[in-house]
């Protein structure tokens, strides 16, 4: 059982006769765990959630705020509960990164919103894709980004338009429910689930059941922090960087099933998920997933936001205790011991054309760091349809796939995709670069990211260097684009410029990676104090690192 005796309030270190005679009593201080009786909110976020279930804010948006406009919004809804419906205020234009930390939240708020649409498993029919494109054009000034969690993210959304947007999304089975907030966020799945020749079990039914039963369930809508999930047969998703992951494995007696991992997460205190050593059949994934969420809900730390992710609980308990609590208190049964999963021979990013198991092909294409647009997505739907496809997939690397293409259509489709700015034969740098939202819209950002990453891609492509080096560009320490697990991970901060003044730049993390294939070792990139670059210098900095990598490889040959 968890105890909350390990955190103390500290005490005076002054040496006095009284202190010598009678040691100060070290007051026990809880972590705010519900299961240990700490139900009274210990910080403003917990208070907001307790005062009113954030899911209830939708009714207020539809009945009040959409009619009376931005000024009518209760601040506790605006900066707290709106997230449960995928809404964040976006950053007011023109506020530089140096002022991010010193301004009050309301001074950073624009009257427009970022809106995240959850695309569980990254799966979209063309009908859904056209609705996503239409909303971008009608309500979001043509903005749309494919995020590194297979979501679609819009900007410039007005509160007045939300009822119409929900109506359009929900008419085709899409939603923004719990796309943000302290909730079970979008479920990541393999972009080739159900079509890959390498897959033994399609995990999609488990994803669908989790979403249908539990997303929007008030009983699971007040978690200590966000909760990220992977359910995938293939190791083509970042399963080590999520709160819970189910990864395909063949048990020697029980056959194909899923290996359970818990406690991964990056941000400012990165940790990789750990195996619980259990085998879960497809049909039991939703029940076991719910059990893990309930462990988090009831035992997760709620006192400090920066210790509230599941990874801290797993780190403190260890996996043996986590498994025992999950089995004994939440599932009421023992789980079956299971082996570690086999990994593919090489990492898979699905770019280019690949055979499906039904004889047709899928074609992976790369926008630049996930940035697409309403017109581009409309064109994508038309191009896919013209080449016989009725569905696309989004990847957790900010890329997309067109499924079910006849082999004889592959070349024509690839050309047509290139014609709309989606490269089906991308350079290595284009296929392996990601960027978070950055200062353009994100209120926490210190530096610009999307245009910066695009400048790196264009520069490296112009040099003719074509190396499999991943570059993850992040606008602040929160690591939304996975700073610590790239070959070159970039954390936005102000750095000294050529004249000594502070300018936008990055702390560099070198040599990180996740285990996506046999023989690969996951680990966080090395962060050396002096390893920094300005944004202006970044393209040539990446070129120098690439050339050094190439020279090193030649020396090894």
Measured from the CB atom, the residue of 112 and 214 that comes closer to ligand SF4 is 112
Measured from the CB atom, the residue of 128 and 433 that comes closer to ligand SF4 is 433
Site for ligand SF4 contains 436 (CB under 6 A): yes
Segments of 122-170 assigned E as strands:
123-125, 143-146, 152-157
Q: How far is CA 194 from CA 183, 189, 199, in A?
A: 27, 11, 8
Residue list 235-264, contact with ligand SF4 (CB under 6 A): none
Measured from the CB atom, the residue of 401 and 476 that comes closer to ligand SF4 is 476
Which SS3 state, helix, strand or coil, does residue 211 take? Answer: helix
Measured from the CB atom, the residue of 373 and 474 that comes closer to ligand SF4 is 474
Q: How many CB atoms lie under 10 A from the CB of residue 172?
A: 14
Asked if 237 contacts 261 with a C-beta cutoff of 8 angstroms, the reply is: no
Shortest distance in whole angstroms from residue 243 CB to ligand SF4:
17
Q: Which residue is nearest to ligand SF4 (CB)?
A: 475
Of positions 234, 445, 469, 545, contacts ligand SF4 by CB under 6 A: 445
Q: Which residues contact 387 (CB under 8 A, 6 or more apart)?
A: 402, 405, 406, 409, 412, 413, 416
Site for ligand SF4 contains 115 (CB under 6 A): no
Q: How many CB atoms lie under 10 A from the CB of residue 142?
A: 18
Angle at 51 between CA 49 and CA 53, to 5 degrees: 50
Site for ligand SF4 contains 475 (CB under 6 A): yes
Q: What is the DSSP letter of 155?
A: E
Measured from the CB atom, the residue of 394 and 444 that comes closer to ligand SF4 is 444
Site for ligand SF4 contains 184 (CB under 6 A): no
First-to-last CA distance in the chain? 53
Of positions 222, 395, 414, 437, contacts ligand SF4 by CB under 6 A: 437
Asked if 442 contacts 450 with a C-beta cutoff of 8 angstroms, the reply is: no
Which SS3 state, helix, strand or coil, does residue 96 take? Answer: coil
Of positions 444, 456, 457, 460, contacts ligand SF4 by CB under 6 A: 444
Shortest distance in whole angstroms from residue 317 CB to ligand SF4:
28
Shortest distance in whole angstroms from residue 61 CB to ligand SF4:
23
Asked if 152 contacts 117 with a C-beta cutoff of 8 angstroms, the reply is: yes
Piece of the chain touching ligand SF4 by CB under 6 A; list 46-54, 174-182, 292-300, 435-443: 435-443
Mind giving me the DSSP string for 282-323?
A: GGGHHHHHHHHHHHHHHHS--S-GGG-SHHHHHHHH-HHHHH
Shortest distance in whole angstroms from residue 445 CB to ligand SF4:
3
Shortest distance in whole angstroms from residue 415 CB to ligand SF4:
34
Residue list 477-536, contact with ligand SF4 (CB under 6 A): 478-480
Q: Closest by alpha carbon to 450, among 515, 394, 367, 393?
A: 367
Site for ligand SF4 contains 370 (CB under 6 A): no
Of positions 395, 423, 474, 507, contacts ligand SF4 by CB under 6 A: 474
Of positions 114, 131, 288, 476, contacts ligand SF4 by CB under 6 A: 476
Shortest distance in whole angstroms from residue 479 CB to ligand SF4:
6
Residues that bind ligand SF4 (CB under 6 A): 436-438, 442, 444-445, 474-476, 478-480
């Amino acid at each position: 059982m968890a105890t909350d005796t390990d955190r103390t309030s500290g005490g005076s270190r002054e040496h006095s006769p009284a202190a010598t005679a009678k040691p100060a009593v070290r007051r026990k201080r809880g972590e705010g765990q519900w299961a240990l009786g700490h139900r009274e909110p210990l910080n403003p976020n917990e208070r907001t959630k307790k005062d009113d279930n954030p899911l209830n804010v939708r009714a207020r948006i539809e009945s009040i705020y959409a009619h009376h406009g931005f000024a009518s919004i209760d601040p506790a809804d605006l900066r707290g509960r709106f997230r449960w419906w995928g809404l964040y205020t976006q950053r007011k234009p023109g506020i530089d990164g140096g002022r991010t930390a010193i301004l009050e939240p309301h001074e950073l708020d624009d009257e427009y919103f970022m809106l995240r649409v959850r695309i569980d498993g990254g799966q979209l029919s063309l009908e859904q894709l056209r609705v996503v494109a239409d909303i971008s054009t009608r309500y979001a000034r043509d903005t749309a980004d494919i995020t590194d969690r297979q979501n679609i993210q819009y900007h410039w959304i007005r509160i007045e338009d939300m009822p119409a947007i929900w109506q359009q999304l929900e008419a085709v089975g899409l939603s923004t429910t719990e796309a943000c907030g302290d909730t079970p966020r979008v479920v990541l799945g393999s972009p080739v689930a159900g079509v890959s020749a390498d897959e033994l079990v399609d995990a999609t039914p488990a994803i669908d059941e989790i979403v249908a039963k539990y997303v929007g369930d008030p009983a699971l809508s007040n978690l200590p922090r966000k909760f990220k999930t992977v359910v995938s047969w293939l190791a083509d998703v970042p399963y080590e960087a999520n709160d819970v992951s189910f990864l395909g494995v063949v048990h020697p007696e029980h056959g194909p099933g899923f290996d359970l991992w818990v406690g991964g997460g990056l941000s400012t205190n990165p940790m990789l998920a750990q195996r619980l050593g259990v085998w879960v059949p497809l049909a039991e994934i939703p029940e076991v997933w719910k059990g893990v969420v309930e462990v988090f809900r009831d035992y997760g730390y709620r006192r400090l936001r920066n210790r509230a992710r599941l990874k801290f609980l797993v780190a403190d308990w260890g996996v043996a205790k986590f498994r025992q609590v999950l089995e004994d208190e939440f599932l009421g049964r023992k789980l079956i011991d299971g082996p570690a999963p086999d990994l593919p021979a090489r990492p898979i990013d699905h770019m280019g054309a690949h055979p499906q198991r039904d004889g047709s092909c899928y074609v992976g294409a790369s926008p630049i760091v996930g940035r697409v647009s309403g017109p581009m997505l409309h064109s994508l739907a038309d191009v896919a349809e013209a080449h016989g496809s009725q569905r696309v997939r989004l990847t957790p690397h900010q890329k997309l796939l067109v499924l079910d293409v006849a082999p004889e259509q592959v070349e024509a489709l690839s050309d047509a995709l290139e014609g709309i700015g989606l490269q089906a034969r991308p350079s290595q740098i284009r296929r392996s670069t990601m960027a978070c939202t950055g200062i353009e819209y994100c209120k926490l950002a210190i530096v610009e990211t999307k245009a910066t990453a695009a400048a790196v891609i264009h520069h490296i492509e112009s040099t003719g260097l074509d190396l499999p080096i991943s570059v993850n560009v992040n606008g602040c320490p929160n690591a939304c684009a996975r700073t610590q697990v790239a070959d070159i991970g970039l954390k936005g901060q102000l750095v000294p410029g050529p004249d000594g003044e502070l300018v936008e730049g990055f702390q560099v993390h070198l040599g990180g990676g996740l285990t996506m294939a046999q023989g690969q070792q996951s680990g966080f990139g090395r962060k050396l104090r002096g390893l920094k670059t300005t944004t202006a210098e970044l393209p040539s900095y990446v070129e120098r690192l690439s050339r050094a990598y190439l020279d090193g490889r030649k020396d090894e040959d």
